[in-house]
Each structure stands twice: as C-alpha cells, then as structure tokens.
Structure 1
Amino acid sequence: MAAIATTDSAGTDAGPGTEAAARVANVLMLFASGPQTLGVSAIARELGLSKAVVHRILRTLADKQLISVDGPTREYRLGPATAALGARALRDSGLRAAGVPVIADLRRRTGETTTLSALVPGGRVYLDQFESEQEIKMTVELGTRFPLHAGSSGKVILAFLPPERRDEVLADDLARLTTRTVVDADALRAQLDEIRTSGVAASDGERQADAGSVAAAVFDVDGVVIGSVSVCGPRSRLDDAARARAVPALQAAADTISRSLGWAGGLPEAR
C-alpha cells in the first residue's frame, strides 16, 4: 500500500481546518488505494496519526455512511455514500459522455462487447459497455477498479503513462490474476514498448481466463492518456485473427473520442 503524505509534512501555512480536512481525505484515499478493509491501527500507522485521531475520523465518516464497519472483522470499508458519489462522478464524466456513442457504434461494427475505461488512482475502472448481441459474450463490471498490468484496457493505459508513473506501477507487486497474467516487470516493460509503437494492446486471458480483448488509448487535449476503449469477447472467438480485424475500427473509435476531448489525433510522441 503506497504511503500518503500527511498534512504535517506539506507546509506550515495550512490552518487547523485545512489540516483536519486533509486527514479525512487521506483516510478515504487509503481505502481507494489499499485493501478493501482497514483497521484503526493500520490506518494510524500508514498516516502517522494517533489511534484516537483515526477513530474520531472514522466515526465521523461512518455517521455520513462514507464508510461502514465490516461485522466479522470489525474493520472498516467504504460505505454506500461513497458508491453513490462514485456512480455520480462516472455518470457525469466528460470521457463517458464523449465515448458512449462511439463505443455503441464500435459494437455494431465488430459484433463484440465494447468497453470504455478511465484511468483512476491505483488503476482503472470501466465507465460503460455495450454488450455483444451474440448469445455467448463477455460482460464487465462497471465502477470496479482493476490493475493496469493485466488485460488490454489496462496495459494500453499503462504504456502511455509518463515514464515515472509506469516505473511506479512496475515496481509494485504485480498480482497474478490468471495463469496468463504477465507479472515479470521486464517482460511487461517489453510489451509496453511494443504497445507504444503499435498503439494497441491485446490480451489473451490475462485478466479473465476465458476472455480475449484488444484496446486502444484515449488522450485528452494535452495528449495525456486518460482512458481506453476495448473490444472483448470469448477467447475461442476473439483470437489473434479476430483481434487484428477489429483494430482499424477500434483505433478509429479511440481517435474519435480523443479528438472530441480536444486532442489533435494520432499517438503522442514517445515519452
């Protein structure tokens, strides 16, 4: 779990109110970037706060349903109010507004499930999907955070992150989600080099064992990667040849979304 700087080290010009707000925000961010449940001691140790301070913060957040207590462990997890806030943020996302009609058309062109992902702290989330109309199809879980190193939607984002951010991800523990997940940092780094050249990432059962997918990155007005578009389906149907056939339509879809967000088009220069 990555450490989060506390306000005490941020400077001396912040007043007590600002410091208290920062502590509350840091507690919430631990749940966004760490385990699903956390105890008072773990939070206090991670943020360098006393247990009494942490307990007061947790009690206030629990009163507002921003966190809740996990019954068996008596540890804390994000509450229903945070889910509502997250759902509203996803619904109102400019990326989602620009991307939804494009991935709807991409589904029509490819016949497979199409998805739109956004980069978030600690990984990425699916903003929306259009499911294939075929009987056997792939579906994804919207709003759940997934790591960047596994699966085409995450890898294509990771490939276009600034080098220092890529290095941070590659230096972390790379979880093996399936037997096909690449967890060797050097091997993954070589894949990312190829992705930056081709502009697309492919996955053959890396995040879900029976899924095949191909994805392209989406960029904002400054050419900064902010998300990805993917075409996904059962591995038995979305094999290498099928993924290759989907690439032109996929790249056109990602380019259309990026241009609607202000990007000039094409791939940014290698960083």
Structure 2
Amino acid sequence: MSEVIRKSITMLTTIIPNEDKEEWSATEVSRQLDIPIQTVHRLLSSLSEYGFVFKNKETKKFRLSLTLMQLGLSIRDNLLVRNNALPIMEKLKKKTMESVYLTVPEGNDGVFIECINADLSLKDAEPIGMRTQLSIGASNKVILAHMKKKTQQQVIRDLIGQGQIEDYKRFDTELKQIEESGIAISFGETTKGTVSIAAPIFSWEDKVVASISVEGMESRIRDQKIRYFMCETQRAAEEISKELGWVKPK
C-alpha cells in the first residue's frame, strides 16, 4: 500500500469522534501518530479538499466529513435495494418464467448486482457484476431516463464525449418516451437475440436507485408476452420502491 494512502487512512481513523472529542488539531494528530506536523497539515488539507475531512474555520481543527456518511449510506442503500428486491424478483421470475435482473447505477454505468435465473434461460444469463454504459439496454436506459435532469445531462455529456451516443436528438426522444411510459424495452442491445423489459425503482426521496428487468430470448417473448411482462415488471418495481419508502405521486 502507498505510504501516503496508509497515512491518510490512519489519520481518518484517528479523528473519529468520541464522547470526549469531536475535533482534532493538526498538532494533536501529529503527536498521536508521531508524524511530522507539516505532513499532517498537507494530508489533512488534501482530505479536506476532496470532502473526506471538514476543517472548522474558527477553531482550525479537523473532523470527519459527512461525505463519508454519504458513501456509507450509498452502499447501505444498494444493499437495502437488493434485500427488498430479492423476494419480489423471485415472484416475477415465477410469473414470467424468464431471468430477472437488478441493476444499480454507478457513475455513467449500470451494474447488474443480482439475478434470479429461470431454468430455461441459464445459457442466456448475464453475469453478476456486468457493467455497461447507461446508454445501452433497457435496464440502464430506464435508470437514465428517470434521473434528476442535472445528473442526467451530465451523464449524457460524458457518454457523448466517450462516443457512446452518436445521435443525441434520437436518444433524447427515446429517453423522454421511457420517462413518460415508465418502462423501457430493448432488443439485443446487451446480448444478441434477447429482449429486455425494465422499470425504475425509487427511494423514499423519489430518486431512481435501481431498475428491475426481465430478459429472455426474442423467440420466446413475443407481442402478447411483452405486454404482460411490461405490466408485471412495473408492478414489481413499484412494490420494491414502496418497500424503500417511496410514495407514488398522485
């Protein structure tokens, strides 16, 4: 491990608040860790710049920033989504007889974090941990379509810069249609010959945190089935969202 990283982590664990102390001066940290005060100042200032440490301008002392709490809560939220989604995913798999996926956004990508495989679809299954751009596939597009506009536009700009979106107007029209309908459908975008139907999952803050999708071979999923899968996938997404404290807008 890099010496700078080791010292930074040691400092973060040192300034954890307790009953007797909430803030630490650079001198106190220096004495506690036996590290030169110049090094302590430099590292704490860098950690403060990136939001991991908060510096009290009046006391000139340091404490852990709420950014660390946000990071921890983001992991908790993903685990919470998964735990609440699993039984509902099982039910959706039994109703559709196809594989059901749970996808969460991370940066400009969507990541499969859980899958309930249908027996007849084992050979079609996508791997857990598979990461694809939010511009590809129903499970990703439905997340992007329901993001807050500022975040959505930043992701789109990044993807355009990476050459992932060639026709912005067409893509923007597609996202608006997905947002309006609350459902996304894609054909062969992640795996050739498959169809994917996805709906967004919201947190109690009405923020899109994941998507649930049904995926199988096009040869098995035709018009009538697609309509049925759309209804069941939306119903499952709303059920998971309600478990997370989401209240459907009237």
> Scaled by the length of structure 2, what TM-score is found?
0.67
**Structure 1 residues 135 and 125, CA gap change in structure 2 (3 angstroms):** closer
Q: Which has the larger radius of gyration?
A: 2
Would you say 1:163 and 2:146 are equivalent positions?
no
Instruction: Name the aligned partner's letter for residue 197 of structure 1.
Output: E
The root-mean-square deviation of aligned C-alpha atoms, in Å, is: 3.0
**Structure 1 residues 204 and 135, CA gap change in structure 2 (3 angstroms):** closer
- Partner residue of 1:206 out of 189, 192, 195: 189
Would you say 1:138 and 2:147 are equivalent positions?
no
Uncovered stretches (5+) of structure 2, i.e. residues with no partner: 1-39, 53-74
Asked if the contact 2:78–2:104 (Cα under 8 Å) also holds between the matched residues in 1, the reply is: no
**Structure 1 residues 266 and 199, CA gap change in structure 2 (3 angstroms):** farther
- Partner residue of 2:235 out of 224, 229, 252: 252
After the TM superposition, which residues 108-127 of structure 1 pair with which residues of structure 2 at under 5 Å, given as runs?
Answer: 108-127=94-113
In 2: Cα distance, 1:91 partner to 1:145 partner:
19
Identity of aligned pairs, percent?
26
Instruction: Name the aligned partner's letter for residue 154 of structure 2.
Output: E
3-state SS of 1:93 partner: helix
Question: Is 118-127 or 223-232 further displaced after alignment?
Answer: 118-127
Would you say 1:103 and 2:73 are equivalent positions?
no
Number of matched pairs: 189
Q: Deviation at 1:163?
A: 1.3
3-state SS of 2:120 partner: coil
Instruction: Name the aligned partner's letter for residue 94 of structure 1.
Output: L
After the TM superposition, which residues 1-271 of structure 1 pair with which residues of structure 2 at under 5 Å, given as runs?
Answer: 15-21=41-47, 93-134=79-120, 138-174=124-160, 183-265=166-248
3-state SS of 1:172 partner: helix
In 1: Cα distance, 2:142 partner to 2:186 partner:
10
3-state SS of 2:136 partner: coil
Q: Deviation at 1:233?
A: 0.6
Asked if the contact 1:201–1:215 (Cα under 8 Å) also holds between the matched residues in 2, the reply is: yes
In 2: Cα distance, 1:209 partner to 1:22 partner:
47
Q: Could you report, residue by residue, the CA deviation over 1:112-133 in whole angstroms, capped at 9, with x for unpaired residues? A: 0001111212212111011112
Uncovered stretches (5+) of structure 1, i.e. residues with no partner: 1-13, 27-88
Q: Could you report, residue by residue, the CA deviation over 1:220-244 in whole angstroms, capped at 9, with x for unpaired residues? A: 0010001100000112222444222
In 1: Cα distance, 2:83 partner to 2:247 partner:
19
- Normalized per residue, which structure has more helix? 2
**Structure 1 residues 255 and 135, CA gap change in structure 2 (3 angstroms):** closer
3-state SS of 2:124 partner: coil
Q: Could you report, residue by residue, the CA deviation over 1:201-224 in whole angstroms, capped at 9, with x for unpaired residues? A: 000112222221000000000100
**Structure 1 residues 240 and 16, CA gap change in structure 2 (3 angstroms):** farther
